[in-house]
Chain A
């Protein structure tokens, strides 16, 4: 066997090992969550209130809190992300300005999530005196996923052939009409996918919301915009801190399992959206 063939075999082997290691880590993680989590998961667990700081009872208000947080952050992020993406894609003619906007978006993406939490604490809670409230959490999560949604929408817009733009403005459509009738429908898949992926990430975040939006016990559903909620990730955190209590630990696994299920659901929807909403293009 030549030296080259040997190198090829070793190389291919190394790649396989790398793949295998990554896959087994994933399988181990998901497997252990399913294994441990399924012991706790039941109809009752999902639909009842938490008791004894979560050690007994269920997680219905945690699920509700998480869903409220991401639903409202979706409403907040969508106009901002769409506006930025449309502006960047259809209105910026100067290369230099375009590069600056890109840089800003990518820097925003690079900010560690705990920084958002601190920012929220300093600005909204301390400076504005808003108190701990779920609405701040939604704002912070929206800020955090803004780059994801923007970039995904923007890339879908850039992928639209310029001939669509030329043909629609040649018919006398104004730029705004072109955006509404050509650009938006043609980039819907990117917008929806970006949003769902962003939300899948947001729902698992602890750091941005733990100081400003959540309480660890005694919360039900919020009655005003100025109330804390409890969420799945912060509930897991609280339960994991009582690790000596086997009931609390079991419920921590159960909560993780529920969270993972929601994330998988969102990611699957994102995948479906990417393929189902993808517009047909000429040639």
Chain B
């Protein structure tokens, strides 16, 4: 049976991929994120920026509930992923996590081959060998890694360079077929050239995925963001389109931070 074209199924003006309501995140007695309301548009790149410790990672990790394993962590309010509450709306947490994929700051490949890494999260037991090979190729191509590794899919993933490992992590996440990609400083541990390559990868992915990305690189934000969320001390100071956030009409705090001046918000 031919697969339906996803583009046709999707409504024209897509609903927000993620919506927060009165969201707060706590570690023990301290409230580290007090986001209030936030909407993340679908099929756009949304960059989460702000000083260190402002709660960007905490916010990101709340979306797919990776934080739930930390005993001191608690949240309030609601998070809706594609209109469904990320607690009650999914039949189990693994389902949520396969819809909301995540790539971490430090690439972490599993101690097995490149191919096995790509297939690590694939749960579908019915996939034939050919389907699997096709999936591996597809995901590695989307992560712009195929050319470099196609001849050595069976060699250990640890033999890849750090930048390649990060792209492998992206490919591995894509193989689970998520709708939303969370990227926590994906370019932070690679050199500037690999970082630019990754940016291209990320930009190519936005046609198929909603991307939320934490970054410390203001220029990177300017290059690839469609939408920017500026966080400071756990509060969302301002959100808006990239053009708005980098323009003169943005709030003074935002302007100071995004112009890479000293900020004491």
> Chain A residues in contact with chain B, CB under 8 A?
93-95, 161, 163-174, 181-182, 185-186, 279-282
Contacts and interface: CB of A to CB of B under 8 A. Distances in A.
B95 A172 contact: yes
Contacts of B109: 282
B108 A172 contact: no
Contact of A163 (B108, B156, B176): B108
24 contacts: A93-B71, A94-B71, A161-B108, A164-B110, A165-B69, A166-B108, A167-B169, A168-B120, A169-B69, A169-B94, A169-B97, A170-B173, A171-B98, A171-B101, A171-B120, A171-B121, A171-B176, A172-B94, A172-B97, A172-B176, A280-B111, A280-B158, A282-B107, A282-B158
Interface string B57-101: 000000010100101000000000000000000001011011001
Contact of B110 (A93, A169, A170, A182): A182
Given A171-B120, A171-B121, A163 B106 contact: yes
Task: Give the bracket for the number of chain B residues in contact with chain A.
Answer: 20 to 34
B257 to A, nearest CB: 28
Contacts of B106: 163
B102 interface: yes
B23 interface: no
B26 interface: no
A170 B97 contact: yes
A170 B71 contact: no
Contacts of A170: 64, 66, 97, 101-102, 104, 173
A-B CB proximity, top 7 nearest: A171-B121, A172-B98, A163-B108, A170-B102, A172-B97, A93-B71, A172-B94
B124 to A, nearest CB: 11
Contacts of A161: 108
Contacts of B156: 280
Interface string B31-66: 000000000000000000000000000000000101
A282 B120 contact: no
B30 to A, nearest CB: 18
Nearest to B106: A163
Nearest to A185: B111
Contact of A282 (B71, B98, B108, B123): B108
Chain A CB within 10 Å, residue with most, of B110, B158, B173, B176: B110
Nearest to B109: A282
A259 to B, nearest CB: 38
Contact of B94 (A165, A174, A282): A174
A93 B68 CA distance: 11
Contacts of B66: 166, 169-170
Given A186-B111, A280-B158, A93 B172 contact: no
A173 B121 contact: yes
A181 B111 CA distance: 11
A166 B106 CA distance: 11
Contacts of A279: 111
